[in-house]
Structure 1
């Protein structure tokens, strides 16, 4: 299992399918080749200081090492976006969450990303005449 290192790979995965669980958000995309499964991790400063972020990253890296070789599809990139709960959750729950999230991202036929919403909010304007 290889790691994602380039920003463009992380951005491409962010535009693809996603599945949220309490401890993290899993983003996954099909690269279109039969290459090895690749995985990346995002742990922001919102989750805590450097010690906390590294501990979360180590836990998620071990979970990915156990789950993705069996459940991940060849030619897919997966990104785990950590939440604070990843530090407190029991390890076996993290493993189960990643298995479920990978199954959801890999499920055929389902829409894998949120629909785009209009940037212009809807205005409840009165009909002709301008008076309510």
Structure 2
């Protein structure tokens, strides 16, 4: 589980990340990652939220995918710059992916969106 200070909680926070101008989005067959950086959060820790719809599968499968994504994100959290908010949306094919595949794809997509929101994160390089 991610610490509370690193979690997006409300629908408004998710909407702000996915729809606010100046953000970035990168996608693949497994995941879509949105990122946004605001000046008001520049000194705060990065926050992450997950969206796993019913298209991914039943409740057991959705929770499994969320757990895998949380574990992979926790591993990468220290590489995200302060103030960045990230939303990770699972595609239906994520249900068939292994944790290693999800982790590799998440790392690649995070590097891409972080580079495009105009930040220079330590440990995350754009492909």
TM-score (norm. length: structure 2): 0.78
C-alpha contact (below 8 Å) 1:44/1:53 kept by paired residues: yes
TM-score (norm. length: structure 1): 0.75
Structure 1 unaligned runs (5+)? 111-132
The count of corresponding residues between Structure 1 and Structure 2 is: 109
C-alpha contact (below 8 Å) 2:49/2:86 kept by paired residues: yes
| 2:29 alignment partner, one of 17, 22, 43 | 22
Aligned counterparts of 1:18 and 1:108: Cα–Cα separation in 2: 9
More helix by share: 2
Structure 2 unaligned runs (5+)? 119-127
The yes-or-no answer on 1:91 pairing with 2:99 is: yes
RMSD over aligned CA atoms reads: 1.7
Shift of 1:22: 2.0
| 1:12 alignment partner, one of 10, 16, 22 | 16
Aligned counterparts of 1:91 and 1:12: Cα–Cα separation in 2: 28
